[in-house]
Structure 1
Amino acid sequence: MPQVRQVPLPPLHTLSLARWGQLCQAFNIHDQTAIEQEFNRIATAYGQPQRAYHTAQHINECLAWLDWTKAEISAEFAGHLVLEMALWYHDVVYQTQGSDPEERSNERQSADQAVSFLQAHLPSHPGKHGQIHRVEALIMATVHLADQGAEHCPDSGVKQTVEYPLDLAPWMMDIDLAILGADPQRFNQYETQIRQEYAWVPEAIYRTKRQQVLKQFLARPVIYHTPKFQQQFESQARRNLGDLG
């Protein structure tokens, strides 16, 4: 049975301006002022006080898992770089009480912010629209349980159409859900963090809704989409989720 991999992480609650800048440079975005302004906007979002799990810690963990998977992901430009851009943005908007007046999901609003930045600063070239669309679609892939509107607590009621880039979406979803297969200590911390983000929900209602979400993951033939993540996390994820039931 494979051991749960421990990934060395940067300081948990600090995002790396250097890494963000390198990613933007790889996209041929060279306006340093725009790069730093967008980084500050992203960092401020992940530092919002209502967050406990969807913070810089989660983004750093996702980036560490991305680095772990690079050898398996397409070497073309539209591979790991597009995934990384999507990971930076995928939870940049996270509200548990549905505050958007247009009833857009968190994922939709996060994707919109990514699209806005890339449209404004990505140089014009024949593949620009395709790159932006792939980043957008990968962010939308993190809906996971599309019929529920969220992967954590299904209370938003927001319906949406999700179009996945078939080559990269499995990696995006698996990286985002790697936490389910974390070691028990980190998984229990995750559960506590999610509860903190839904502190406004009465305990009995929260437990019922949370169990519904977790049971949907357990009911899948496999939780993870890629062989690499299945081998590394599938068994531990099922143990973690089963222990909560």
Structure 2
Amino acid sequence: MTPASRTADTTDPAPELRRRWAATVAEARGSRRSAAAGGDPAPDPAPYADNLLDRWREPHRRYHTVEHLTAVLDRIDELATHADDLSVVQLAAWFHDAVYRPDRSENEERSAALAERALPELGVGAARTAEVARLVRLTVTHDPAPDDPDGEVLCDADLAVLAGSPDTYAAYAAAVRAEYAFVPEPDFVVGRSAVLRQLLSLPRLFRTPLGYDRWEHLARRNLSTELELLGG
């Protein structure tokens, strides 16, 4: 994973995210070191953070931005006691929309493949790397199995935006529309309505007990309101 070229900044826009990334990578590595001759330490995680943050800051993004990444990581922190392997869930959050083109359907697959390349380079073991990639792919459906606590935490954190205040939800919906500005309005309404119906058809949007208690009612109200406004 070669760090993307970066424009010169006089200030660091995301020091806290870089700190959190380094801590997560250290936890995911455990005592593992690279297999390089001489037992050299695993690579510095900082360039990988820069690469990922550059991806999250791509100019075509309006919702899937650094702010969304931060929000997902914050919600994972709230749900941390439900996770089996918190560092794996946190890594999956970093990668879950690392590749994002609104005109493509394979974003999750390409994001998972990016994790599968980058994490072994960073010294993360095979089992955790595979689990991160699995969790990233799970965000296609947001429908984790009942015996998948890490999947439940990631999906709940990713969907928590649906439970915002009316103004916050309206801003989210507008940002989604802006990402799909290339889609004619009639086609967008059809596609977006289908997404909303699919979410509303889930028996539970939020699978963790805390997520369900905090967010289920508000999210369903917001989704239903948007669907009504779209004429669905």
Question: Shorter chain as normaliser: what TM range?
Answer: 0.7 to 0.9
Matched-pair contact (CA < 8 Å) for 2:43–2:123: no
Q: How does 1:92-131 map onto structure 2 within 5 Å?
A: 92-98=98-104, 105-122=106-123, 128-131=125-128
Q: State the secondary structure of the residue aligned to 2:81.
A: coil
Match of 1:18 in 2: 19
Q: What corresponds to 1:84 in structure 2?
A: 90
Q: Secondary structure at the match of 2:59?
A: coil
Letter of the structure 2 residue corresponding to residue 118 of structure 1: L
- List gaps (5 residues or longer) in structure 2: 1-12, 34-40
Alignment equivalent of 1:201, drawn from 175, 183, 202: 183
| Structure 1 unpaired stretches of 5+ | 1-12, 99-103, 147-161
The residue identity in structure 2 corresponding to 1:110 is: S
Cα root mean square deviation, aligned? 2.3
Asked whether 1:133 is paired with 2:130, we answer yes
Match of 2:64 in 1: 54
Bigger-Rg structure (1/2): 2
Greater helix share, structure number: 2
Aligned equivalent of 1:174: 156
1:189-231: CA deviation from partner (whole Å, max 9, x where unpaired): 1101100100000011101110111011112222222221111
Q: Does the 8 Å CA contact 1:141/1:164 hold for their aligned counterparts?
A: no
Q: Which amino acid aligns with 1:142?
A: T
The question of whether the paired residues in 2 share the 8 Å contact of 1:108 and 1:140 is answered with yes
Q: Show the counterpart of 1:223.
A: 205
4+ residue segments displaced more than 6 Å: 162-165
For 2:142 and 2:74, how far apart are their aligned partners in 1? 24
C-alpha contact (below 8 Å) 1:138/1:164 kept by paired residues: no
- Contact 1:137 / 1:164 at 8 angstroms: preserved in 2? no
Residue 145 to residue 169, structure 1, CA distance change in 2 (3 Å): closer
Aligned residues: 205
Name the CA distance, whole Å, in 1 between partners of 2:80 and 2:122.
Answer: 26
Separation of aligned partners in 2, 1:169 and 1:142 = 9
1:145 deviation in Å?
Answer: 6.3
1:5-62 Cα deviation digits (max 9, x unpaired): xxxxxxxx73621111111222237868641211111010000000011011011001
Distance 1:163 1:130 in 2: 19
Residue of structure 2 in register with 1:142 after alignment = 139
In structure 2, what is the Cα distance between the partners aligned to 1:223 and 1:25? 32
Q: 1:236 maps to which residue?
A: 218
Cα pair 2:53 2:66 within 8 Å, conserved: yes
State which drifts further: 129-138 or 220-229: 220-229
Distance 2:146 2:23 in 1: 26
